[in-house]
Amino acid sequence: MTRTAEMNAADNAAGPATRRRLPAGVWALGFVSMFMDISSEMIHALLPVYMVAVLGTSSLTVGIIEGIAEATASITKVFSGALSDWLGKRKMLAALGYGLAAVTKPIFPLAPSIGWLVAARFVDRIGKGIRGAPRDALIADITPPEQRGAGFGLRQSLDTIGAFVGPLLAIALMWATADHFQAVFWIAVIPAFVAVFLIVFAVKEPARPTGQRRVRMPLRRSELRLLNATFWLVVVVATVFTLARFSEAFLILRAQSIGLSLALVPIVLVVMNLAYSLSAYPVGVLADRVSRPMLLAVGLLLLVVADLVLALVPNMAGLLIGVVLWGLHMGFTQGLLATLVADAAPAELRGTAFGVFNLITGIALLVASAVAGFLWDQIGPQATFLAGAAFALVTLVGLLCFQARLSKSGRR
């Protein structure tokens, strides 16, 4: 029986009311992500411009800082994910990660130099790394397999609502404070602590399934061998894809390069994340009924077109179209990649699987962001986005070659 037929049978057996109901824990984790993203994006929407325009750093430095920040998170994820498998508990680590991110937010308005900002980003991303893999594994644990795409899509959608509300608030506050960066950074501290409150009091750890194998050393070679070939294929596809999907900081710099004012630069992330949030959940629901690799291929095509528009149409209309397409490609790909990892990994090793996945793709993001910054400084914005389009096409070819193998990962 195919995956689609199995899910249709499960839907019919569950009934219309149950079919539409996702576990409360998925909603709670979605709102936790939303509030933390409001806080983070209020800061990150302004940070690249703040570093370049106020502190005088180069675009290459921005790319390296962003890449190091995300790579730090990814390296931490592999250990926190493995630890969650060893403990058989995920909520505690997720809450610790959100708490660490919250307490480091005040560093941003207090930072007097680029060194302080790098330190703040570094510690903040450690918090992200601690929470990421356990949270994703927790979603997979509490969501029925036939709703897994919808579960990851909902979490991603709510997360991304925060990602466009944050820049909107940043725009309004920059206008209200006459471009006072530090004042905006201070206000961003508040929603971070709301997120911590929610995960502590609104998310419950599910009971460990009866008979599930206990993992003593998740990162031992014998355990890693249980991550099958399909999982590693997902990792390879995602890694090449990440080389095409460099930091969104370059969308902000592109907006500045065509003349958008400092106060309005965050609108780039607002538009991108609006498209992202509106598409992530519907795509997740659709992914429970049709081929996930084919939806992923659509996302890659959207990225190719977005990069070409951003490279070749250097005006406000091109920026708007390119940013919308970039957001849609995120909606078509990020939740799906998480779903494919959850499909391919054994239940007792999901934390480790998400950690390994994020470690490797995080290293790829470091490389991609550094290369993007180098191309930007040495040749110009056009070269950065054309290189991204080329890597996206390579990923698309690889995905189409292995789509049948990837489709089988959900038929378990």
Nearest-angstrom CA–CA distance, 44 and 192: 14
The whole-angstrom separation of Cα 73 and Cα 78 is 9
Residue 92 pLDDT greater than 80, yes or no: yes
- In our burial notation (b when 16+ CB lie closer than 10 A, e otherwise), range 326-339 reads bbbbbbbbbbbbbb
Q: Which of 48-57, 82-91, 218-227 has the highest mean pLDDT?
A: 82-91
When the pLDDT of each residue in the chain is averaged and rounded to a whole number, the result is 82
| d(C-alpha 38, C-alpha 48), whole Å | 17
State which of 36-45, 118-127, 275-284 shows the largest mean pLDDT.
275-284
Convert the pLDDT of each residue in 2-44 to its tens digit. 444 444 444 444 444 334 588 888 999 999 999 999 998 888 7
When comparing pLDDT for 156 and 67, which is higher?
156
pLDDT of res. 279: 92
pLDDT of residue 409: 55
Give 257: exposed, middle or buried? Use CB within 10 Å, 0-12, 13-18, 19+: middle
Percent of the chain with pLDDT over 70: 88
pLDDT above 90 as % of the chain: 19
Inter-residue contact 104 to 123 (CB < 8 Å): yes
More confident residue, 278 or 56: 278
Mean pLDDT lowest for which of 42-51, 120-129, 139-148, 340-349? 42-51
Q: Are 7 and 177 in contact (CB under 8 A)?
A: no
pLDDT of residue 24: 87
Of residues 325 and 267, which shows the higher confidence score? 325
Say which CATH superfamily domain 24-203+226-410 falls into: MFS general substrate transporter like domains (1.20.1250.20)
d(CA 271, CA 259): 17
| 87-91, 149-153, 205-209, 319-323: least confident range | 205-209
pLDDT value for 2: 41
pLDDT tens-place string over residues 387-412: 889 988 988 888 887 776 666 654 44
pLDDT of residue 71: 67
Residue 198, pLDDT > 90, answer yes
pTM, full prediction: 0.75
